């Protein structure tokens, strides 16, 4: 087993832990996760997050005790898309390598274009402009797109483009995502660990075939969706730690994502 040299970063993140709303800057760490609760956004065809209250209170023995149950789909809130999600032979959740979940973060700012066009598709030209300004996207990087849509969370209408539910609502979705041509360019020209963004899908909301999912996942590149606070990250220099629930045979799962900011010791 190969040990990834991020132990010091993990310790810094754990030492900085606190219970605060996102976005939370905790010394060297930034929380990129929307909390799971009754207002968590899911795909229109999925039931939302449900916390079933169980035991809570002082027991007959005199000590406090709380234990609840939860119901949730794999794909909703801040979560991982494992390659199996859109590729039959792809890795399931528990088989996604740690090298793809803990990686240098490269953040492409597409907020201006996304604000003008909710259906904006990130293009090869966006990637080339980024590299002209910040250098080549390095091998093994987690490529993140900051659209600014995290600020709309959890307003279903503003975030997803529709507040309707059910299969018919899927055709009414509007949010930015990765153009399939850019996905093909990334697979052919760069060696990414993962791709992530602050919207509900790697593909734009108007997509009906989810081609960017198919292209990335056939290349074993997982995705992180519904991330928070990407606009607070620098273009380069941060480290992404995106650890999902380790679900055997899963196509994805709820994710706790944080970034270790540059200069962390």
Whole-number Cα distances in Å, 242 to 123, 194, 223, 224, 256: 25, 10, 10, 8, 6
SS (H, E, C) 164-216: CCCHHHHHHCCCCEECHHHHHHHHHHCCCCEEEECCCCCCCCCCCCCHHHHHH
What confidence score (pLDDT) does residue 1 get?
33
Whether 34 sits among the annotated catalytic residues: the reply is no
Spatial separation of the C-alpha atoms in residues 240 and 233, rounded to whole Å:
10
The dihedral sign for the CA sequence 100, 22, 75, 119: negative
Which of 120, 172, 171, 173 is closest to 145 using CA atoms? 120
Q: Give mean pLDDT in consecutive 10-residue pieces for the chain, a chain of 265 residues.
A: 42 41 61 97 96 95 97 97 98 98 98 98 98 98 98 98 97 98 98 98 98 98 98 97 98 98 75
Residue 64 lies in a domain: yes
In a domain, 199, yes or no: yes
Residue 1 forms part of a structural domain: no
Q: Which domain holds residue 252?
A: 7-260
265 within some domain? no
Residue 51 covered by a domain: yes
Q: In which element (H, E) is residue 243 found?
A: strand 238-244
In angstroms, rounded to a whole number, what is the distance separating the alpha carbons of residues 224 and 261? 19
**In total, how many domains does the chain have?**
1
Q: Return d(Cα 144, Cα 105) in angstroms, integer.
A: 7
CA angle, 147 as apex, 143 and 150 as ends, to 5°?
A: 105
- Which of these is catalytic: 85, 87, 174, 213? 85
Residue 2 located in a structural domain:
no
pLDDT value at residue 16: 40
CATH code at 164?
3.50.30.50
Instruction: Give domain status of residue 75, yes or no.
Output: yes
Tell whether 38 is covered by a domain.
yes
Total residues belonging to the chain = 265
Q: Identify which of 92, 99, 184, 174 has the alpha carbon closest to the alpha carbon of residue 139.
A: 99
In a 10 Å sphere around its CB, with 0-12 CB exposed, 13-18 middle and 19+ buried, how is residue 132 labelled?
A: exposed
Query: Cα–Cα distance between 26 and 251 in angstroms, integer?
Result: 31
Q: CA-to-CA distance for 74 and 89, rounded, in angstroms?
A: 18
């Amino acid at each position: 087993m190969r040990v990834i040299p991020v132990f010091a970063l993990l310790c810094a993140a754990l030492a900085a832990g606190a219970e605060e709303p996102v976005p939370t800057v905790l010394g060297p760490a930034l929380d990129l996760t929307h909390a799971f609760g009754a207002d968590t956004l899911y795909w229109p065809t999925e039931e939302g997050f449900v916390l079933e209250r169980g035991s809570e209170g002082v027991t007959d023995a005199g000590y406090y005790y709380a234990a609840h149950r939860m119901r949730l789909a794999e794909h909703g809130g801040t979560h991982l898309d494992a390659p199996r999600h859109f590729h039959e032979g792809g890795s399931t959740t528990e088989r996604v390598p740690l090298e793809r979940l803990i990686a240098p973060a490269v953040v492409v700012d597409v907020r201006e274009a996304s604000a003008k066009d909710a259906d904006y598709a990130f293009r090869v030209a966006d990637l080339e402009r980024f590299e002209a300004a910040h250098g080549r996207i390095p091998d093994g990087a987690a490529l993140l797109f900051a659209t600014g849509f995290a600020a709309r969370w959890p307003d279903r209408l503003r975030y997803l483009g529709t507040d309707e539910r059910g299969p018919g609502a899927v055709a009414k979705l509007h949010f930015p995502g990765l153009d399939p041509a850019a996905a093909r360019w990334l697979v052919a020209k760069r060696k990414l660990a993962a791709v992530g963004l602050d919207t509900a899908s790697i593909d734009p909301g108007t997509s009906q075939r989810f081609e960017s999912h198919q292209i990335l996942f056939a290349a074993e590149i997982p995705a992180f969706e519904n991330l928070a606070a990407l606009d607070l990250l620098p273009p380069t220099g941060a480290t992404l730690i995106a650890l999902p629930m380790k679900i055997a045979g899963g196509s994805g799962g709820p994710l706790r994502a944080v970034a270790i900011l540059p200069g962390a010791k």
